[in-house]
Every structure is written in C-alpha cells, then in structure tokens.
C-alpha cells in the first residue's frame, strides 16, 4: 500500500475527490495516512477527520522565521512516513530540503495548462483571472511532479476545459475543478500507486502493464 500524505490550504475539494476515490476503489493500493494544512480553521481539516484521517496544522505564523517553520514542517511530514506527498491546493512554498528528500515523490495539481499561467504569483483564483484577461479560449489543469522550480516539474497529465464567453473567474474556477482537477489528481495517484508511471531522465513515462 502506498502511504499518501495530502497537503492543503483551503476548503479541500481536491482532498475530498481523493477521499471519495479511495472509498470508491477508483484509487487502489493507497492508504491516506495524513492531512497537513497551513491553516488551522479550513474545512479541509474537517473533511479529513470525518474520513478518519489524522489531520494537523503547521503554520508559518507560529514560527519565528521561515527556516524554523521549514524544519518543523518537514519533521511533521516525516512523522507520517509517506511514500507520496500530494499538494492539493497547498499555497506554501515547499522547502528545498523536502523536495530533495522526496524527489519524484511529490505531486501537485495546478489549475492551468502548464506552461501557461503558472509560476510565482499564479495560484488560486488569480490563475483564472489572468486566463480571462488574456482572452484564452481553452484552459484546464495539470498534475506534475514537484521540483525546485515553481510549477516546473515533469508533467504527469493535463486536461483541457473550454472557456465560455460569460465566464467569471469564479465560474471558470469551478468548471476547471469539476471537469479536470477532480479527475486528474485521483487518476495520477492511482497510476503512481499501481506502477503505471515513472520519471525517466526528467520526463514522465507511462508503463504499459
């Protein structure tokens, strides 16, 4: 069984999609061993507790500086002994030490078709606001492995979503979640847990079984 820890910052809709997929058997060979949030009051922690998953908060606000937080954060992650770390709407920069220690074992969901609308400053609703400002006709979501560079890791999967003429950032965000994010992330976790993908020479390769 692949031990999975999910990192969240907000309401946890992607977390819920993962929980539901595990319960339904759509994700197999996985144990959700922990949820960590940088916010103490978000709904995602409640979602985890309802599902019987240990949930904790580790916030940068509780530490004297980012270096001390990074050390405490990595220690908390280590306590869960994860095989895979899933960033499901996690808005805190991952410490370099964690990226190195868990190389090719951290994945992230990003609400655009990378390399569009990604990198520093592109997160949450801001991604969809920028997409609408640019006037794109198609957007979507991307699951990728996490490296030192922001949103620069090897791409696992992408799914396109149409942009409608009357879209707001909020309506587009919801459609991207419903049509792309909630499907891509559980599928990626299942693929990793069952050995269907691997990183070879910096690119994701699909293994036919």
* Whether residue 110 lies in the annotated active site: yes
Contacting residues for 192 by C-beta, under 8 A, at least 6 apart? 2, 84, 107
- Torsion angle in degrees (nearest 10) through CA of 197, 142, 61, 120: 120
- Relative to beta strand 84-87, strand 30-37 is unpaired
CB under 8 Å, gap of 24 or more: what pairs does 173-180 form?
Answer: 173/111, 173/125, 173/128, 176/111, 176/128, 176/139, 176/140, 176/141, 177/13, 177/14, 177/111, 177/141, 180/111, 180/140, 180/141
Q: What does the alpha-carbon distance between residue 78 and residue 73 come to, in Å, rounded to a whole number?
A: 9
Q: How many residues does the chain have?
A: 209
List 110, 128, 183, 208, catalytic entry: 110
Annotated active-site positions, please? 110
């Amino acid at each position: 069984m692949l031990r999975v820890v999910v990192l969240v910052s907000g309401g946890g809709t992607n977390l819920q999609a993962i929980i539901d997929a595990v319960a339904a058997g759509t994700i197999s060979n996985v144990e959700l061993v922990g949820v960590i949030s940088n916010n103490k009051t978000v709904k995602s922690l409640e979602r985890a507790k309802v599902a019987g998953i240990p949930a904790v908060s580790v916030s940068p606000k509780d530490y004297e500086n980012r270096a001390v937080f990074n050390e405490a954060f990595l220690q908390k992650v280590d306590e869960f002994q994860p095989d895979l770390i899933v960033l499901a709407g996690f808005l805190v920069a991952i410490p370099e030490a964690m990226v190195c220690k868990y190389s090719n074992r951290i994945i992230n969901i990003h609400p655009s078709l990378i390399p569009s609308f990604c990198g520093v400053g592109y997160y949450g609703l801001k991604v969809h606001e920028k997409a609408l400002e640019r006037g794109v006709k198609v957007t979507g979501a991307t699951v990728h492995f996490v490296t030192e560079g922001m949103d620069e890791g090897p791409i696992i999967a992408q799914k396109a979503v149409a942009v409608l003429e009357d879209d707001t950032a909020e309506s587009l965000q919801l459609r991207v979640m419903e049509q792309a994010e909630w499907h891509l992330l559980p599928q990626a976790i299942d693929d990793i847990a069952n050995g269907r993908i691997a990183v070879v020479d910096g690119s994701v390769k699909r293994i036919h079984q």
